[in-house]
Chain A
Amino acid sequence: MIHQSDEGPGPATPGDAIKIRARGINVFYGAKQALFDVSLDVPEKSVTALIGPSGCGKSTFLRCINRMNDTIAGTRVEGRVELDGEDVNDRSIDPVVLRARVGMVFQKPNPFPKTIYENVAYGPRIHGIATTKPELDAIVEKSLKRAGLWSEVADRLQQPGTGLSGGQQQRLVIARAIAVSPEVILMDEPCSALDPIATARIEELIDELRNQYCIVIVTHSMAQAARVSQKTAFFHMGKLVEAGATGDIFTNPRDGRTQDYITGRFG
């Protein structure tokens, strides 16, 4: 049923280089299987959207990429996820290094109960990327600017990050993620807790970041997927039903279930 051959990512998409190559992923939470033999290619420097009804396994797939599933007791992952050709589940890959290379933004904004500055400086500090105060200042400023938050918080960097509005918090969290200059950014429904205006800002931001990062975004909103992504993958009941260029998926889906979902017949 999966209309995707093993040899390629399907129809040509922007940014031809493949950053992440997943093959035959099965995920089990205890005895329950959450993902069934999922294979997907994620292109470099573009936005790939994972869509599907809730509980379809799209977040589970996302968490395979930076091995966040390891943090849940009783989870088992089978299959290969390659990042630049290296299997991330390989013994030689340290999850610490992997997660420094693959940043993640969560559904609910989760700034640490620290100052705005400390939130952004968290990654560079723990990884030892910046050693001097000026270096750190520069990284914080650059990240906040890139996340489009600098103008709003420049004069209150020492105030708690939890005091910001929901949309600002989510941009702060994105700034925190890009402060370590990751190669990939995973976003797990980053706008589901936000109002439409804040959502629009984040979508703009994603569009800007696309030039530098490989972005994988899980979203509930098909409109959002259509707006921000170049490639879309549709998940259903733990299986990857269909993946391809966003335009094709939305205008010309090959699978009946995709058709039903995007026309709003279930979901």
Chain B
Amino acid sequence: MLTWVALLALALFSGATFFAARRKALASVGGRPVGLHSLPGYYGGYVAIWVAIPAALVLLAAAGFGGRLEAGLLRATPAPSVQALDAQQRDVFFDDAVSLSEGRQASESVYEGALKSALDSAVARARHLKSQITYGALASALALACAGAGFAFPRIRPDFRARNRVEGWIAGLFILCSVTAVLTTVGIVGSLIWESWRFFQSVSPIDFLFGMDWDPQIAMRADQYASSGAFGAVPLFIGTFLIMIIAMLVAAPVGLFSAIYLSEYASPLARAVVKPLLEILAGVPTVVYGFFAALTVGPLFREFFNGIGALLIGGGLDGLGQYLSQVQNQMALVAGAVMGVMLIPFVSSLSDDIINAVPQSLRDGSLAMGATRSETVKKVVLPAALPGIMAALLLAVSRAVGETMIVTMAAGLQAKATINPLDTVTTVTVQIVTLLTGDQEFDSPKTLAAFGLGLTLFAVTLTLNIIALRIVQKYREQYD
């Protein structure tokens, strides 16, 4: 709260220096801006930046990291009675001290005797540290703001190149923003590799990538995590693959034929109606597809197969009938089919772009030879668009592999290495969600396994994307 007030005050102060600097710049040339190197506003901006930026950084750092600094200092000097506690209890003790100092509810631990007095003194010390950090930050922010003004203000002279300085700051901001995207990648790759590395300390990568048995044990207590779960991810890979294949069997033909119809046959009116409708299908959140799969498609498919099973029981296909009559909601077919529907607009809009990039002159050439539309599409347009379409399908595969909600809601949890679409399978993403939801010990292989899976997922989708984007780029260059 205090930080926000301080930031507001800083903004006002910085605004005031803006006008003061602007006025000074104007005054230095007798009110005629022609004599200045830059527009007067740039002089104001230059000073305002020097006033605001360093001080704001200090305030934000104090707001963001003050709590950790406080906790760190608090822990640096524990009372002897606290030192006697084991690591976990000590954590709780200090958390309680901080909570109490901020007037929040402490944990239910009971502190007596020496611990009670240690807690009281820790609470007092926490309060003291907190105010020290807060006021220290406020004071240094004030000092920095004044120093900024003191540094920048005297430099205002008619020949001072204020615009270049301000634009220098803006360029810095620009670069900072573009680097954010790179930092995100670094963050993703770094955290996945780091956590996976910790995971591979306890489970060998070979066992993980080629093991046929997936059964992560639930670590109930910290000392239990030595108990070996099985972390062979092959069943998950097979499950993911199976669902992806089913999804592509739905999405590829329907999406591709829709795209062909829209780009080659549909009237402008039909295009104007159908394309936005397909976009709606693309805009539906995946959790909605998941709901639809779990509560509508699942039961529907089960009833259908159970019905067929009931008909077959006792006949020549009795075994099949028995099997079909016991099919469950969570079959791979359900998640795969619904995921396929989700991917239809994705495939069709990408293919539509690709097909439209095929030059009209090729179509004209073929039609002028007396080819029908469909012959033109099959023999000229599609072969020409083939690389692009392959890339679109690869991107769709990447989406299918990384899709989470549909499979989490509609596929099962049982890791089974099967390619039977009526069977229950689980996928990489489902397991990541299962391993990481709920409160778990963060250091157990069980939770770290999620990062191993995440790294595999990331590597696979990244490879697919890079290949696909490469092909698309080559393809576009060909017709540009």
With A99-B370, A176-B369 given, is the CB distance from A112 to B362 under 8 Å?
Answer: yes
Residues of A within 8 A of B362 (CB): 110, 112-113
Binds A, one of B33-41, B339-347, B372-380: B372-380
Interface of B is mostly: helix
B367 on the interface (CB 8 Å rule)?
A: yes
When chains A and B are docked, how far (Å) is the Cα of A226 from the Cα of B392?
51
With A110-B359, A112-B384 given, is the CB distance from A66 to B368 under 8 Å?
Answer: yes
B353 on the interface (CB 8 Å rule)?
A: no
B370 interface neighbour in A110, A112, A123, Cβ under 8 Å? A123
A114 engages B383 (CB within 8 Å): yes
Binds B, one of A43-51, A75-83, A101-109: A101-109
Residues of B within 8 A of A110 (CB): 359, 361-362, 364-365
B371 on the interface (CB 8 Å rule)?
A: yes
Give A258 Cβ to nearest chain B Cβ, in Å. 30
Residues of A within 8 A of B380 (CB): 112
Chain A interface residue count, CB cutoff 8 Å, equals 28
Give A196 Cβ to nearest chain B Cβ, in Å. 23
A197 on the interface (CB 8 Å rule)?
A: no
A1 on the interface (CB 8 Å rule)?
A: no
When chains A and B are docked, how far (Å) is the Cα of A114 from the Cα of B378?
13
B3 on the interface (CB 8 Å rule)?
A: no
Residues of B within 8 A of A98 (CB): 370
Residues of B within 8 A of A104 (CB): 364, 368
Residues of A within 8 A of B371 (CB): 96, 122, 126
B267 on the interface (CB 8 Å rule)?
A: yes
Q: Nearest CB to that of B266 among chain A residues?
A: A73
A103 interface neighbour in B268, B359, B363, B368, Cβ under 8 Å? B368
B228 on the interface (CB 8 Å rule)?
A: no
When chains A and B are docked, how far (Å) is the Cα of A95 from the Cα of B379?
18
Residues of A within 8 A of B369 (CB): 99-100, 103, 122-123, 126, 176-177, 180
Residues of B within 8 A of A68 (CB): 364, 367-368
B384 interface neighbour in A106, A108, A113, A122, Cβ under 8 Å? A113
Chain B interface residue count, CB cutoff 8 Å, equals 20
Give A167 Cβ to nearest chain B Cβ, in Å. 17
A73 engages B268 (CB within 8 Å): yes
When chains A and B are docked, how far (Å) is the Cα of A13 from the Cα of B116?
120
A156 on the interface (CB 8 Å rule)?
A: no
Q: How would residues 4 to 42 of chain A score, 1 for a CB under 8 Å from any chain B CB and 0 otherwise?
A: 000000000000000000000000000000000000000
Residues of B within 8 A of A180 (CB): 369-370
Most chain-A CB neighbours within 10 Å: which of B359, B368, B384? B368
Q: Nearest CB to that of A109 among chain B residues?
A: B361
Q: How would residues 140 to 155 of chain B score, 1 for a CB under 8 Å from any chain A CB and 0 otherwise?
A: 0000000000000000
A108 engages B370 (CB within 8 Å): no
B366 on the interface (CB 8 Å rule)?
A: yes
B372 interface neighbour in A96, A111, A112, A114, Cβ under 8 Å? A96
A126 interface neighbour in B267, B361, B364, B370, Cβ under 8 Å? B370
When chains A and B are docked, how far (Å) is the Cα of A157 from the Cα of B362?
20
Residues from 124 to 179 in A contacting B, C-beta threshold 8 Å: 126-127, 173, 176-177
Give B358 Cβ to nearest chain A Cβ, in Å. 9
A92 on the interface (CB 8 Å rule)?
A: no
A252 on the interface (CB 8 Å rule)?
A: no
Q: Nearest CB to that of B386 among chain A residues?
A: A113
Residues of A within 8 A of B384 (CB): 112-113
Most chain-A CB neighbours within 10 Å: which of B362, B370, B372, B384? B370
A97 on the interface (CB 8 Å rule)?
A: yes
When chains A and B are docked, how far (Å) is the Cα of A108 from the Cα of B370?
19
When chains A and B are docked, how far (Å) is the Cα of A112 from the Cα of B377?
12
A71 on the interface (CB 8 Å rule)?
A: yes
Residues of B within 8 A of A114 (CB): 383
When chains A and B are docked, how far (Å) is the Cα of A229 from the Cα of B375?
34
When chains A and B are docked, how far (Å) is the Cα of A96 from the Cα of B374?
12
Residues of A within 8 A of B267 (CB): 73
When chains A and B are docked, how far (Å) is the Cα of A112 from the Cα of B376?
10
Residues of B within 8 A of A127 (CB): 370
Residues of B within 8 A of A108 (CB): 361
When chains A and B are docked, how far (Å) is the Cα of A126 from the Cα of B366?
10
Residues of B within 8 A of A73 (CB): 267-268
Residues from 178 to 200 in A contacting B, C-beta threshold 8 Å: 180, 186
A106 engages B367 (CB within 8 Å): no
When chains A and B are docked, how far (Å) is the Cα of A176 from the Cα of B364?
13
When chains A and B are docked, how far (Å) is the Cα of A248 from the Cα of B268?
46
Give A170 Cβ to nearest chain B Cβ, in Å. 12
Give A213 Cβ to nearest chain B Cβ, in Å. 15
A106 engages B365 (CB within 8 Å): yes
Give B192 Cβ to nearest chain A Cβ, in Å. 41
Residues of A within 8 A of B365 (CB): 106, 110-112, 173, 176
Most chain-B CB neighbours within 10 Å: which of A71, A100, A110, A114? A110
When chains A and B are docked, how far (Å) is the Cα of A100 from the Cα of B370?
5
Residues of B within 8 A of A122 (CB): 366, 369, 371, 379
Residues of B within 8 A of A100 (CB): 369-370
When chains A and B are docked, how far (Å) is the Cα of A104 from the Cα of B369?
7
Q: Nearest CB to that of A186 among chain B residues?
A: B368
Residues from 163 to 185 in B contacting A, C-beta threshold 8 Å: none
When chains A and B are docked, how far (Å) is the Cα of A113 from the Cα of B359?
11
A99 engages B368 (CB within 8 Å): yes
When chains A and B are docked, how far (Å) is the Cα of A180 from the Cα of B370?
10
A71 engages B383 (CB within 8 Å): no
When chains A and B are docked, how far (Å) is the Cα of A95 from the Cα of B375?
14
When chains A and B are docked, how far (Å) is the Cα of A98 from the Cα of B364?
15
With A73-B267, A110-B362 given, is the CB distance from A99 to B383 under 8 Å?
Answer: no
Shortest Cβ-Cβ A-B pairs, 5 listed? A99-B370, A104-B368, A100-B370, A110-B361, A110-B365
6 contacts between A and B (CB under 8 A): A73-B267, A96-B372, A103-B368, A104-B364, A106-B364, A113-B383
Given A122-B369, A126-B369, 15 other A-B residues pairs in contact with their CB atoms under 8 A: A71-B363, A73-B268, A103-B368, A104-B364, A104-B368, A106-B368, A110-B359, A110-B364, A110-B365, A114-B383, A122-B366, A122-B379, A126-B370, A177-B369, A180-B369
* Interface set of A (CB-CB < 8 Å, partner B): 66, 68, 71, 73, 95-100, 103-104, 106, 108, 110-114, 122-123, 126-127, 173, 176-177, 180, 186
